[in-house]
Amino acid sequence: MSPFLLTRTLPEGTAGADLRADVLHGLTRTPKELPPKWFYDARGSELFEEITRLPEYYPTRAERDILAARAAEIAEATGARTLVELGSGSSEKTRHLLRALRPGLEGYVPVDVSESALTGAAAALIEELPGLRVHALVADFTRGLALPGTPGPRLVAFLGGTLGNLLPAQRATFLRAVRALLEPGDALLLGTDLVKDEATLVAAYDDAAGVTAAFNKNVLSVLARELGADGDPDDFDHVAVWDAEHEWIEMRLRARHALTVKIPELGLAIPFEAGEEMRTEVSAKFRQEGVRKELSAAGLELTRWWTDEKGWFGLSLATAV
């Protein structure tokens, strides 16, 4: 039996239809906005991997440190025979969990919208961890998700602080959907970036080298390639601001002068006034009690809580109530 199986539950062409819908909805409203998932074409994914290595961008390092230090505890607490990872990407940090869960681990189920990311990560993992069986799912977990039949108990991991890219109502819907996936004995491992001083937060999203700016502007390249849009990245500035009321970072693109972006595929001409901003990402930051409440509202109980040495990033283990 092959150690690798790939299942596509995201129909071909779905991404294009979703992009059109998001552009129609987001760029014809006030204020303008686009969801952050459109950063991540091949170039955007490369830029994000570069961001994770920047000195200012602490979340990846902090979460990796927690996983390295606590993977054995997580394995002992869950006894998972299947690891499911939502938004798995390169699966880099997951290696700590996979190693700790062996030899009882029977399978790994990475879930991502990118087939190339899944196949590349799976090939590397199978080589590194002989005997590992990988059943990859090409799927958008925000649309609802059905998992393949896998032996339990299962550990569902949602790492990287990605929960913070969802607005509160979206987070509630997502967590309820995860709760519906869990059977008795299953658990959720959730990574959340934590509230800290504004300067540290803003620097993480506006690095001195300008990599995050290039990442933010990459959405314009996606619109150009997929929809024929003529937005010039040089006409926009990258902006990162801390919203203290909502306790989240917003990334925006700010028009340097009055301009119009034409999108032929949709028959749109989108005017921007000088200084007008388009929101491209929200990244919410959390506190332990807030995480506990959101999990509880979804029918999940926070049972373990770990942070890095600085207390900058939190890793939660939760079970179904």
Per residue in 218-255, pLDDT (tens digit) is: 999 999 999 999 999 999 999 999 999 999 999 999 99
How far, in Å, CA of 321 to CA of 318, rounded? 9
With contact defined as beta carbons under 8 Å apart, do 250 and 241 qualify? yes
- Helix axes 14-26 and 211-227, enclosed angle (nearest 10): 110
Q: Is 70 exceeded by the pLDDT of residue 12?
A: no
- Distance from first CA to last CA of the chain, Å, rounded? 37
CB-based contacts of 73, cutoff 8 Å, min separation 6: 304, 306
With contact defined as beta carbons under 8 Å apart, do 62 and 310 qualify? yes
How far, in Å, CA of 21 to CA of 27, rounded? 10
pLDDT of residue 112: 87
Q: Is 80 exceeded by the pLDDT of residue 13?
A: no
User: How many CB atoms sit inside 10 A of residue 51's CB?
Assistant: 20
* Of 56-65, 70-79, 119-128, 248-257, the least confident: 119-128
With contact defined as beta carbons under 8 Å apart, do 121 and 128 qualify? no
Residues, the chain: 321
Q: Is 80 exceeded by the pLDDT of residue 15?
A: no
- Residue 9: which pLDDT band, with cuts at 50, 70 and 90? confident
User: How many CB atoms sit inside 10 A of residue 198's CB?
Assistant: 12
151-204: pLDDT as tens digits: 999 999 999 999 999 999 999 999 999 999 999 999 999 999 999 999 999 999
pLDDT of residue 143: 78
Chain center to CA of 76 = 26
* Of 101-105, 155-159, 278-282, the least confident: 101-105
Q: Is 80 exceeded by the pLDDT of residue 293?
A: yes
* Among 62, 67, 91, 290, CA closest to 171: 290
How far, in Å, CA of 135 to CA of 126, rounded? 11
CB-based contacts of 12, cutoff 8 Å, min separation 6: none
How far, in Å, CA of 205 to CA of 51, rounded? 9
How far, in Å, CA of 124 to CA of 105, rounded? 17
φ/ψ region of 303 (left if φ > 0, alpha if ψ in -120 to 50, else beta) reads alpha
pLDDT of residue 162: 95
| pTM for the full predicted model | 0.94
